[in-house]
Structure 1
Amino acid sequence: MSFNNASGSNPNGSFTLMNLCGKVTFDGSNFNEWIRNIRMITRYEDKEYVLDKELKEIDETTATPQEIADFRAHERDATKVACIMMATMTAELQKSYEDFYPYEMHQDLMERYHQRARQERYEIICSMITTMMKDGESVTSHMQKMQRYVDRLLKLNVNFPEDLAIDIILHSLPSCYDQFRMTYHMNKEEVTLSKLQGLLKTAESGLKGKSVAITPTPNSTPVLAIGKSRGRKRKRSSKGTKARTLDGSSSSGTKKGFITPSSDPKEAECFYCHEKAYWKRNCPKYQQDVKDGKVKPNHAGTKKK
C-alpha cells in the first residue's frame, strides 16, 4: 500500500502514515478510537470525504467529462481508504467488509458498534455513580472495581476527567470516612487515582480495631455526648444544702451535722432534739419549749404534709 506525500518535500511522510495506520487495530470494542485514527489519516491525505459521501454509479454514456473525472477520482480515493480501513481490522472483521466501500463500511460500523458503545457507556456510568462501598468491604477491592469502570470508559473513548472519577469515588465511601473526605477537600494538593488508593488504604488501617466510642468522628460526637450524660449525676444545689444545714441548727445557734430527710416518720430524725420516730413539728420537747416561750416557732425547716 502506498500513500502520496501531500507536500512532496518530506520523504518520510509515507513512513509516518504507515505508523499511524498500525497504531490502532479495530477489534469490535474500540470503534471510537479506531475511527478517530482513520479520520486523522484520511484528513491528512485529503480523502476524508469518502467516509461521509456515498460513491454513486454514473452512466458514462450520458455523463459529462467532469462528472466522469470526479467519479473516477472518488473511486480511486475510496479504494485506497477502504484498504487502509481493512488493514487496521482484525482478520474476522476483514472478512465481513472486504467488498465494502468506505461510506457503506462506516455507516454499518456506526450502526453496529457506535450505538452499542453509547449504550455501554450509559450502563457503566450508571453503575459507577450508584456503586457504594459496603461496610466491612476492603477499600482496595472497592477501588479496583471503580478503576475498572474508569478504564472501560477510557477504552470507549469517553473523555472522563480523573478529578470527576475521584469525586465519584469519595461519594461512594461509607460514613466512617467522613473525616477523610473533610481532610481531602481541605487539602489543596493534587491527587491521582493511584495516590488516592494509597491514602485510603492508610485511612482504612487507622480505622481497624477502633470503635466509634473511642475514636468518635465529628458527626458522631453529639450522639456520644448524649450517651455520656446518662451516667452523670446531677449536683445538689448549694441553696438546698444550706437550707437543710440551717434546719439542723440547735436553739443556741450551734450547727448540727447534716441529717438526711426521710418520708417515713418511723425512720425520721427530729431536727430539734435529734430523736427518731417523729419530725420536728411533732417533737414534744419543741412543742413544750414553744409553749413556754423558750423558742420562737420556726416553720422554715418543717416539711409540709
Structure 2
Amino acid sequence: MSTSNDTSSSSNNNSNHFSLLIIYSKVTFDGSNFNDWIRNIIMALRFKDKEYVLEKELNEIDETKSTPEEIFKYRRHCNDATKVACIMEATMTPELQRFYEDYWPYEMCKDLMEKYHQRAHQERYEIVKSLMTSKMKDGEFVTTYLQRMQRYVDRLLKINVNFDEELAIDIVFHSLPSSYDQFVMTYHLTKEETTLIQLQSLLRIAESGMKRKIIASTPIAAAPILAAESFPQNTSTQ
C-alpha cells in the first residue's frame, strides 16, 4: 500500500521530469543553431548528472570476462546513453532525427561538432570580417548602407552570436565618411541609447540636412550675357 510520502516523492519526480522536458524543448536543432541547442542539452544533462555520456564513448564489453563493477558501469552507461540519445533526437527536426537515429550521444555530438560548430565558426569569421571592413561608398544613400550593415548583424544573431548593439553602432560610425563626424560627436554627447533601426532614422535626418546645406552653399551661376560684339558682324557688300 502506498503512503503519503511515496505519493509526494512520485509527485516531485514527475514535476522534475516535466521541468526538464520544458528545458529540453526550448530549442529545436535545425542545423543553424547548434551552439544554442547543445548548450541547452548540456545544461539539462548536467542537472541529472548525465553529461558524461556526451564526453565518454560507450565501448561494448564482454560480460563473461568482466567484473561485476565493470558490468554495472557499462549497463548504467548504456541506459543513460539510450535516454540521452532519445532526448537529443527528440529536439531535432525530422530530417536530422532520421540521420542520427542510430547514433550514440558521444558519436552524435562529435559528428555535430565537426559539421555544424566548425561551419558556424567559419561563417562567423566571414561575417565579422565583412562587417569590420565595410565602408560607406561615395554617393551611397545612408539608408541603403545601414540596411547592409543590419543584415550582417542579423546573420550573426542567426548563428547564435550575441553581438552587442552598441558595438555594432560603433562599427557603423567608424565606417561612415568624414562628413558625418559632427553627427557622431553630437550622438556621443547626448548619451542616449539607440538601436540600429532608430539610428537609421537619425542618420537619414542628418543626410537630408547635409544635402540642404550643400544646395544652400552652392553659388547661383550668373547667366552669360551674350554681347552683340561677340558675334561676327555681317559685312556683306552691295
Give the residue type in structure 2 aligned to 1:49. Answer: Y
Greater radius of gyration (CA) = 1
Counterpart for residue 130 of structure 1: 133
Q: Distance in 2 between matches of 1:156 and 1:76?
A: 33
Q: Which whole-Å deviations, capped at 9, do the CAs of 1:98-152 have from their partners, x for residues lacking one?
A: 1000000000010111111110000000000111112222222222211121122
Cα-Cα RMSD: 2.1
The alignment covers a number of residue pairs equal to: 210
Q: Distance in 1 between matches of 2:189 and 2:59?
A: 63
1:46-195 superposed matches below 5 A:
46-195=49-198
Q: Distance in 2 between matches of 1:12 and 1:202?
A: 55
Counterpart for residue 27 of structure 1: 30
The runs of at least 4 aligned residues of structure 1 exceeding 6 Å deviation read none
* TM-score normalised by the chain length of structure 2: 0.81
Counterpart for residue 19 of structure 2: 16
* TM-score normalised by the chain length of structure 1: 0.64
Counterpart for residue 214 of structure 1: 217
SS of the aligned residue for 2:212 comes to: coil
Q: Distance in 2 between matches of 1:77 and 1:101?
A: 10
Q: Distance in 1 between matches of 2:181 and 2:217?
A: 16
Q: Distance in 1 between matches of 2:48 and 2:94?
A: 25
User: 1:7 deviation in Å?
Assistant: 10
Q: Distance in 2 between matches of 1:59 and 1:168?
A: 60
Give the residue type in structure 2 aligned to 1:42. Answer: L
Give the residue type in structure 2 aligned to 1:92. Answer: E
Q: Distance in 2 between matches of 1:13 and 1:136?
A: 60
Give the residue type in structure 1 aligned to 2:49. Answer: D
Counterpart for residue 40 of structure 1: 43
Q: Which whole-Å deviations, capped at 9, do the CAs of 1:172-199 have from their partners, x for residues lacking one?
A: 1122211111112223223222322221
SS of the aligned residue for 1:57 comes to: coil
Q: Distance in 2 between matches of 1:54 and 1:108?
A: 13
User: Which deviates more, 44-53 or 100-109?
Assistant: 44-53
Q: Distance in 1 between matches of 2:142 and 2:113?
A: 39
Q: Distance in 2 between matches of 1:52 and 1:76?
A: 15
> CA, structure 1 residues 10+143, in 2 after alignment: closer, same or farther (shift >3 Å)?
farther
SS of the aligned residue for 1:208 comes to: helix
SS of the aligned residue for 1:211 comes to: helix
User: 1:13 deviation in Å?
Assistant: 2.3
Counterpart for residue 232 of structure 2: none
Give the residue type in structure 1 aligned to 2:180. Answer: Y
SS of the aligned residue for 1:128 comes to: helix
Q: Which whole-Å deviations, capped at 9, do the CAs of 1:180-226 have from their partners, x for residues lacking one?
A: 111122232232223222211221221223318839xxxxxxxxxxx
Give the residue type in structure 1 aligned to 2:33. Answer: N
| Runs (5+) with no aligned partner, structure 1 | 1-5, 216-305
Q: Distance in 2 between matches of 1:192 and 1:98?
A: 43
SS of the aligned residue for 2:135 comes to: coil
- Which one has a larger percent helix, Structure 1 or Structure 2? 2
> CA, structure 1 residues 206+73, in 2 after alignment: closer, same or farther (shift >3 Å)?
same
| Runs (5+) with no aligned partner, structure 2 | 1-8, 219-238
Q: Distance in 2 between matches of 1:10 and 1:189?
A: 49
Identity among equivalent positions (%) equals 66
User: Which deviates more, 88-97 or 100-109?
Assistant: 88-97
Q: Distance in 1 between matches of 2:105 and 2:115?
A: 15
